[in-house]
C-alpha cells in the first residue's frame, strides 16, 4: 500500500529526475556515495518512519509531557524510537565521519527528514541536539569539541536553542539575561528564557543549552550579545557527569499542538551559580546563533511540507472512499448511485490546490538544501557564492511560505473530510493543530518578510536577488518550446517580480521607505508564488519530456482520447507525470494570477494601517 506519510515516487522524481543529485558524487566530498546509497538510506528512512515514528503521533499527543521534580518526562512511546533513531545514525547525518557523522549531502538529510517531520514533537528532540552540536563544530574550542561533541553526535546528550525571553521575543536585542565573568574565564548566568523547544527530556542523560546573554558591561542591543554553553550537568575532566547546574525547568507550556514536545520556561542562576562557557568570541552571539536559526528555519519549512503532505495524502484517501451524492452528470436522477466525493468538482479543486502546493514546496525545500551542497562542492569562488546566494534568498521564503501554506493545506484537508475532519476520530485535526506553530516560532513570518525585504533583497548590492531571477529566467527559456503557454505565464510573473524589486528600490531612493516595509509580507507571498510557479514549471518540463518518451515507447497517441486515457490510467509513471503537468497548470493558471492583484495593491501605496488611530480599531 502506498505510504500516507509522503509520496515516495515524488521524492524520487525531485531528487533524481529534477535535481539529479547523484552528480554530487562526482565531487571529492561525496565521492564515497552513489545513487544506490542514497536510495538505500531513504528506504530505511521510510521504514523507520512507518514502523516507529508515525505510530507515536497520536499517542504522544494524548499523553503529552510531564514535569516532575524539575525533570521533564516525554511521552513514554518516544523512548524506543529515539533509541532506534540514534543507533541508526539519523542524527547528525551531514556531520564529518571523523566526529561520528555520516558526511552525507544536506539534500539527502532533508529527504530523510521529510519522512520524520510529520511528527515534529518527536523529531524536535534529536533535531535541536543536532543544531546545538553543529554550533560547537563550527565555533567551539578544541576543548569544547572534545568535551561535548561525542555524546551529542551519538544522541546520548541533547541540546536546545535558548533565545526568547518574556520581554525579548522577536526583539532579541532587548534581552536581560546577564553573564558574570569569573576569574577562571568561565561565566555565571542569571536570567529567564521562555518557549524553549525540547527544553529538557528524559530521553538523554545531559542537555547542552546554547544561551544568548549579555556580559556585564557590554553595550545594549544585538551588538552586545554573546552566546554561552550551559550544560544541565557539568562534565568532569574524565567525561563523567558532575553536579547539576544551577538552573530550573520551571514550567512546560500548555499548547494547542505538538503536545509531545516539551516547550519550557527555564530560570538560570537563581542561586547565583549557573555555570556557563563562552562559545566563540565575545559580542558575536548573534553571528553564532544565526547558524542555528537558519538551520531551524529550514527545518520549520520542512515541518510545513511534511504536515501538508501527510494531510493531503490522508484527505486524498478519504475522498476516494467516502460515498456522498451522485455524479454531477446525473444530479437530476434520484436513483443515481452514490459516488466517491473525489468525483465532485469542489473536492477536486481542493485536492488539486493541495497537490500543487505540496509538489512546489517539496521542490523548493529540496532545492534549497541542494544549493547548500553545491556551495560546499564548488571550487570556483564565484560559483560557490552563486549557490550560497540562492540559499540565502530562499531561506525566508521557505520558512514563511511553507509554514503558512502547510497550515492552509491541513485546513483544506480538514474541509475535505467535512464534519468528520473536525472530530478527533480522524487524524487531520491533529495535523492542523501541530502545524499552526510553524508560522510563529523561529522568527514569526512577518519577521521573515522584513528579513527578505530589508536585508536579503539588498545583499551583495542585489546580486543574490538577480541571481535568483537569472535561474528562473533560464527555466522559462528551457521550456518555452515544450510548454509555451505555461512558460510565458511564469516568465511574465518573473518579469513582474524583477520590476517590483526595482520599484522598492525606487521607493527607498524617494524616501518612501514605509512602502516596502508595510508591504513586506504581501511582497514575500507574491515572491513565493512566483518561485513556486518556477519550480512547478521546471517539474512540468521534466515530466512532459518523460511522458513523451514513455508514450512513444508504449505507442500511445494524445490525439486518441480514449487510448490516451487508458494509457494514463494503466501506467503508473504516465499517471504520475500527468499529475505533475496538471499540478503545474493549475497553480500557474489559478494561483499565480494572484501576483497581479498583490502588485496592484502594493503600488497603491495605501498607508491605512499606519494612519488608523489605535483608538479606531474598536470602540
Report percent pLDDT > 90 for the chain. 94
Residue owning grid cell 509513471 = 573
3-state helix/strand/coil string of 536-580: HHHHHHHHHHHHHHHHHHHCCCCCCHHHHHHHHHHCHHHHHHHHH
In this predicted structure, what is the pLDDT of residue 129?
Answer: 96
CA distance 547 to 537: 15
Which DSSP string do the residues of 114-149 spell out, in sequence order? HHHTTSHHHHHHHHHHHHHHHHHHHH--HHHHHHHH
pLDDT digits (tens, 9 = 90+) for 550-575: 999 999 999 999 999 999 999 999 99
In this predicted structure, what is the pLDDT of residue 331?
Answer: 76
In this predicted structure, what is the pLDDT of residue 334?
Answer: 84
* Greater model confidence, 159 or 619: 159
pLDDT digits (tens, 9 = 90+) for 55-71: 999 999 999 999 999 99
pLDDT digits (tens, 9 = 90+) for 588-605: 999 999 999 999 999 999
Cell representation of residue 84 = 532506534
Task: Please report which confidence band the pLDDT of residue 336 belongs to, taking 50, 70 and 90 as the band edges.
Answer: confident
425-448 average pLDDT score: 95
pLDDT value at 286 more than 70: yes
3-state helix/strand/coil string of 295-325: HHHHHHHHHHHHHHHHHHHHHHHHHHHCECC
Report the 10 Å Cβ neighbour count for 32: 12
Task: Please report which confidence band the pLDDT of residue 357 belongs to, taking 50, 70 and 90 as the band edges.
Answer: very high
Contact assessment for residue 277 and residue 229, using Cβ atoms and an 8 Å cutoff: yes
Q: Distance from first CA to last CA of the chain, Å, rounded? A: 57
Contact assessment for residue 406 and residue 305, using Cβ atoms and an 8 Å cutoff: yes
Helices 35-48 and 106-116: crossing angle, nearest 10°? 20
Q: What are phi and psi of 550, to 5 degrees?
A: -65, -45
CA distance 455 to 394: 13
Of the residues 165, 277, 435, 442, which is catalytic?
442
Cell representation of residue 92 = 547528525
* Range in 193-202, 282-291, 427-436, 522-531 the model is least confident about: 282-291
Strands (E), 161-225: 178-181, 187-197, 206-215
154-172 average pLDDT score: 90
28-44 average pLDDT score: 97
Catalytic residue status for 605 = no
Looking only at the bridges linking them, the beta strands covering 263-268 and 247-252 are antiparallel
Bridge partners of residue 77, in order along the sequence: none
In this predicted structure, what is the pLDDT of residue 303?
Answer: 97
Report the 10 Å Cβ neighbour count for 498: 17
CA distance 482 to 487: 9
CA distance 55 to 58: 7
Report percent pLDDT > 70 for the chain. 100
Q: What are phi and psi of 229, to 5 degrees?
A: -95, 125
306-327 average pLDDT score: 95
In this predicted structure, what is the pLDDT of residue 1?
Answer: 63
pLDDT value at 173 more than 90: no
Bridge partners of residue 264, in order along the sequence: 196, 252
Task: Please report which confidence band the pLDDT of residue 327 belongs to, taking 50, 70 and 90 as the band edges.
Answer: confident
pLDDT digits (tens, 9 = 90+) for 186-242: 999 999 999 999 999 999 999 999 999 999 999 999 999 999 999 999 999 999 999
Architecture of domain 8-154: Orthogonal Bundle (1.10)
SS3 (DSSP) at 205: coil
Cell representation of residue 493 = 510573473
Contact assessment for residue 220 and residue 288, using Cβ atoms and an 8 Å cutoff: no
pLDDT digits (tens, 9 = 90+) for 450-506: 999 999 999 999 999 999 999 999 999 999 999 999 999 999 999 999 999 999 999
In this predicted structure, what is the pLDDT of residue 483?
Answer: 98
Contact assessment for residue 360 and residue 587, using Cβ atoms and an 8 Å cutoff: yes
CA distance 153 to 126: 9
pTM of the model: 0.96
In this predicted structure, what is the pLDDT of residue 211?
Answer: 97
CA distance 459 to 445: 20
What ranges do the domains of the chain cover?
Answer: 8-154, 157-284, 449-619
In this predicted structure, what is the pLDDT of residue 364?
Answer: 98
In this predicted structure, what is the pLDDT of residue 488?
Answer: 98
CA 114 vs CA 56, 215, 282, 590: distances in Å? 17, 39, 37, 27
Residue owning grid cell 502594493 = 602
CA distance 264 to 209: 12
CA 523 vs CA 26, 365, 462, 507: distances in Å? 39, 20, 16, 14
pLDDT value at 170 more than 80: no
CA distance 259 to 202: 16
- The domain 157-284 is placed in CATH, from the list 2.40.110.20, 3.30.230.10, 3.30.70.3040, 3.40.50.300, at 2.40.110.20
- Counting Cβ atoms within 10 Å, is residue 424 exposed (0-12), middle (13-18) or buried (19+)? exposed
SS3 (DSSP) at 187: strand
Amino acid at each position: 500500500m502506498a505510504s500516507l506519510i509522503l509520496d515516495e515516487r515524488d521524492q524520487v522524481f525531485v531528487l533524481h529526475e529534477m535535481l539529479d543529485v547523484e552528480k554530487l558524487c562526482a565531487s571529492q566530498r561525496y565521492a564515497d556515495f552513489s545513487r544506490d546509497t542514497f536510495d538505500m538510506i531513504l528506504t530505511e528512512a521510510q521504514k523507520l518512519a512507518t514502523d516507529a515514528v508515525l505510530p507515536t503521533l497520536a499517542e504522544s499527543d494524548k499523553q503529552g509531557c510531564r514535569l516532575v521534580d524539575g525533570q521533564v518526562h516525554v511521552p513514554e512511546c518516544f523512548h524506543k524510537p529515539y533509541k532506534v533513531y540514534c543507533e541508526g545514525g539519523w542524527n547528525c547525518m551531514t556531520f564529518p565521519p571523523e566526529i561520528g557523522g555520516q558526511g552525507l549531502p544536506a539534500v539527502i538529510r532533508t529527504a530523510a527528514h521529510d519522512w520524520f517531520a510529520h511528527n515534529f514533537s518527536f523529531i524536535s528532540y534529536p533535531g535541536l541536539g543536532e543544531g546545538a552540536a553543529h554550533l560547537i563544530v563550527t565555533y567551539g574550542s578544541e576543548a569544547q569539541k572534545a568535551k561535548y561533541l561525542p555524546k551529542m553526535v551519538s544522541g546520548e546528550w541533547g541540546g536546545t536553542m535558548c533565545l526568547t525571553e518574556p520581554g525579548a521575543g522577536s526583539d532579541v536585542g532587548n534581552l536581560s539575561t546577564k553573564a558574570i565573568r569569573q576569574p577562571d574565564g568561565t561565566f555565571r548566568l542569571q536570567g529567564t528564557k521562555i518557549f524553549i523547544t525540547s527544553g529538557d527530556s528524559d530521553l538523554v542523560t545531559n542537555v547542552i543549552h546554547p544561551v544568548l546573554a549579555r556580559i556585564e558591561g557590554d553595550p545594549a542591543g544585538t551588538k552586545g550579545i554573546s552566546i554561552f554553553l550551559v550544560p544541565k550537568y557539568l562534565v568532569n575532566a574524565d567525561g563523567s557527569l558532575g553536579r547539576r547546574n544551577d538552573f530550573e525547568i520551571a514550567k512546560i507550556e500548555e499548547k494547542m499542538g505538538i503536545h509531545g514536545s516539551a516547550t519550557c520556561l527555564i530560570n538560570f542562576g537563581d542561586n547565583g551559580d549557573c555555570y556557563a562557557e563562552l562559545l566563540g568570541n565575545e559580542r558575536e552571539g548573534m553571528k553564532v546563533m544565526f547558524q542555528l536559526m537558519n538551520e531551524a528555519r529550514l527545518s520549520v519549512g520542512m515541518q510545513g511540507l511534511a504536515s501538508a503532505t501527510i494531510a493531503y495524502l490522508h484527505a486524498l484517501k478519504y475522498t476516494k472512499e467516502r460515498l456522498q451524492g451522485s455524479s454531477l452528470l446525473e444530479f437530476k436522477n434520484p436513483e443515481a448511485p452514490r459516488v466517491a466525493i473525489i468525483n465532485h468538482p469542489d473536492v477536486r479543486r481542493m485536492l488539486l490546490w493541495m497537490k500543487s502546493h505540496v509538489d512546489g514546496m517539496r521542490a523548493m525545500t529540496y532545492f534549497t538544501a541542494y544549493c547548500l551542497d553545491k556551495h560546499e562542492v564548488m571550487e570556483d569562488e564565484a560559483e560557490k557564492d552563486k549557490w550560497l546566494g540562492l540559499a540565502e534568498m530562499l531561506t525566508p521564503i521557505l520558512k514563511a511560505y511553507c509554514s503558512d501554506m502547510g497550515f492552509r493545506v491541513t485546513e483544506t484537508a480538514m474541509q475535505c473530510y467535512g464534519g468528520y475532519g473536525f472530530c478527533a476520530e480522524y487524524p487531520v485535526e491533529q495535523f492542523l493543530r501541530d502545524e499552526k506553530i510553524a508560522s510563529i516560532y523561529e522568527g514569526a513570518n512577518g519577521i521573515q518578510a522584513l528579513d527578505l525585504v530589508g536585508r536579503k533583497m539588498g545583499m551583495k548590492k542585489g546580486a543574490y536577488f538577480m541571481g535568483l531571477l537569472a535561474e528562473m529566467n533560464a527555466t522559462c527559456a528551457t521550456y518555452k518550446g515544450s510548454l509555451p503557454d505555461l512558460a510565458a505565464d511564469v516568465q511574465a510573473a518573473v518579469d513582474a517580480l524583477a520590476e517590483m524589486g526595482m520599484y522598492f528600490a525606487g521607493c527607498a531612493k524617494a524616501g518612501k521607505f514605509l512602502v516596502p516595509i508595510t508591504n513586506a509580507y504581501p511582497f514575500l507571498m507574491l515572491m513565493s508564488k512566483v518561485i513556486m510557479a518556477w519550480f512547478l514549471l521546471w517539474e512540468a518540463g521534466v515530466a512532459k519530456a518523460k511522458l513523451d518518451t514513455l508514450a512513444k515507447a508504449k505507442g500511445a497517441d494524445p490525439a486518441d482520447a480514449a487510448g490516451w486515457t487508458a494509457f494514463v490510467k494503466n501506467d503508473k509513471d504516465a499517471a504520475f507525470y500527468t499529475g505533475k503537468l496538471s499540478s503545474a497548470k493549475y497553480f500557474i493558471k489559478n494561483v499565480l494570477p494572484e501576483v497581479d492583484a498583490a502588485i496592484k495593491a502594493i503600488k497603491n501605496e495605501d498607508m491605512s494601517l499606519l494612519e488608523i488611530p489605535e483608538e479606531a480599531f474598536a470602540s
